[in-house]
Amino acid sequence: MTQVTRHLIARSDGARVELFQARSPAAASAGAILFVHGNQAGQRLGAVENVDNGTLLRFSAGLNITAAAVSQPGFGASEGPPDFCGPGTQQAILAALSFLRKQPYVDPGRIVLCGNSRGAVASAMVATQVADLRAVVLMSGVYDLEAAFEGSPQGLQLAIEKEAGLSRDAFLARSALHHAHKIRCEAMLLHGRRDDRAPVAQAELFAQALSDAGLPATLSLFDCGHQIPRDYVRAALHPFLRGIFAPAVTLH
């Protein structure tokens, strides 16, 4: 029976990082997927959200892999402060990837990173720093934070200013569009055409930048807002992940 376990690991500066994982007992040197959550409407639950909504169990059992989720700094039990997808958040994700890579039941060549909303912003930046990712999945993300800032809702602007600051360097450290040439893995982008928090043009520009860099990049657009319905996500991800985590799998 697949079980979910909780782990407290350390990022490079020693700060605590919370990670949950579900491992199928039948999995032997199989792949892994790491989920990075979004903003969570101020609740700051962290990665336990992916446990409570069944995501880890569904993906682990359906794909016969290890499914994990990491809490960003300031969320869940991960030590903060939150830095709006900045270096601390990126270090937490890197620590989680390193943890998975070292597990004897994980094939380090088949690890997929999947970020949603602010998790996609940070995951895209992490993908520029990791050479051995198999793929990155980015949902409802922003990839040029400075360009998107002026048109963002006031609450989002305040969060960015408080957590990251408004310097050019701060924006560049959170804007994967300017580092797209450093990414080495396949990418899938999922985005709502009516997203009022992350303009769809952001996804279109980033997908084009990845393609221009010679990377396989797929952009799937949906008739929805910032929150992409689960059925839409599942329909897009199923064939993509099935190809990565073959043999044949079934998502429930």
Q: What is the mean pLDDT of each run of 10 residues along the chain (252 residues)?
A: 91 97 77 95 91 95 94 96 97 98 94 98 98 97 96 93 97 98 97 96 98 96 97 94 74 49
pLDDT of residue 28: 65
Instruction: Tell me the two tokens of residue 198.
Output: 């992350």
0.75 surpassed by pTM:
yes
